[in-house]
Amino acid sequence: MECEFPTINSNKEQIKEIFNIVKTIAVVGLSPDETKASYRVAKYLQESGFKIVPIYPKEDTILGEKVYRSLAEIPFEVDMVDIFRKPDALNMVADACIKRGDVKVFWAQKEIVNNEAAAKARDAGMVVVQNMCSMVEHRSL
């Protein structure tokens, strides 16, 4: 698979605003393995005051939170979706975000870029961040 350069992305000012408005973050691909980046990032965000909602195919709880199998299963509002999946899965995630209708931020983690999915999310009114770590960006504020 060829790497993509993010042609759709947010700037530092938009990212600062994201962290001012976001309260609930669904983490797609949140592993229960403490050595994985998804776990470390979600733990940091949780400790920083955000509500974390794990999306993972197995487990009942991660970081003390109920695990959902998909975005569609979450019965309350989600402000941001933080994605730890391969780039080719992002179209499916974007579609799920659009179908929910409440997601404000579509965030693809470091080294994850899919401009087609990003365009879909942006066109549906979401702020898009690609190829950036939410923990690193939050810490830099």
Do 49 and 104 contact (CB within 8 A), yes or no? Answer: no
Instruction: Please report the pLDDT score of residue 8 as a whole number.
Output: 84
The 10s digit of each residue's pLDDT in 8-25 is 888 999 999 999 999 999
pLDDT over threshold 90, residue 70: yes
As a whole number of angstroms, the distance between CA 120 and CA 86 comes to: 17
What DSSP designation does 50 have?
A: P
Instruction: Please report the pLDDT score of residue 1 as a whole number.
Output: 43
What average pLDDT does this structure show over 94-110?
98
pLDDT over threshold 80, residue 114: yes
What DSSP designation does 107 have?
A: E
- Write the single-letter amino acid at 63: L
CA distances from 94 to 3, 20, 137 (A): 19, 22, 22
Six-digit token pair at 87?
A: 């780039």
Domains, the chain, ordered by start? 12-140 (3.40.50.720)
Do 107 and 88 contact (CB within 8 A), yes or no? Answer: no
Instruction: Please report the pLDDT score of residue 80 as a whole number.
Output: 98
Instruction: Please report the pLDDT score of residue 2 as a whole number.
Output: 54
